[in-house]
Amino acid sequence: MADLSKVFEQLGSTLQQAAISSDGAEIQGIITGMLAGGMPVQSEDWLSALADFVNQGEKLPDDVRQQIMNLYQQTKDQLMASDFTLTLCLPDDAAPINDRGMALVKWVQGFLLGFGLHQNDLTGCSEDVKEALEDFAEISRMDEKMSEGEDSEQALFEVMEYVRVSAMLCFNEQGRVASRAATPSKTLH
């Protein structure tokens, strides 16, 4: 499994070269939100929906497209694994705390966007998922600067872990069910 902080840097550089004002955190957030919102993992139309948001509907350049498809595959595999291994595509821990915090905010904003594309009726969601989505909405509006220090590092770590676990909760409740429903049964008669 690739180090996602390196994926964040590489994808960010490729996006910047293509004049696309998004980053790996936002893109993985959108992908994760789509999957968690009920998009079947076998879906093939997610890339055009993503291009609509990050590249104004224009086709993504091949190098960007390939890196995003790799990130999608990695994210999907992590969500489908039974060992809760989802890793968020964020800057390296050595990056300034405010860079990591803003990347987390972008990730959450992307998640909410992707989730909303595939889940517009929350009546079937558990209270835990509804609460997580409300918390995500709060996190997505965070814009205060964080001071460097152990307390801020601990607070950021806790929010990152909450986001990670909550995203998996949403996927396990909404996305996994949709993916199972879209998979043809392999029952032999």
pLDDT in tens, the chain (189 residues): 456 778 889 998 999 999 998 999 999 999 999 999 988 888 888 998 899 889 888 889 999 999 999 999 999 999 998 787 899 999 998 999 999 999 999 999 999 999 998 877 788 788 999 999 999 999 999 888 888 888 889 999 999 999 999 999 999 988 876 555 555 444 444
Give Cα 54 distance to the centre of its chain.
14
Instruction: Determine the residue type at 74.
Output: Q
Superfamily of structural domain 4-178: YgfB uncharacterised protein family PF03695 (1.20.120.740)
DSSP conformation class of 123: G
CA-CA-CA-CA dihedral for 42, 126, 169, 33, to nearest 10 = 50
How is the chain split into domains, by residue range? Answer: 4-178
The structure tokens listed for 68 are: 């995003």
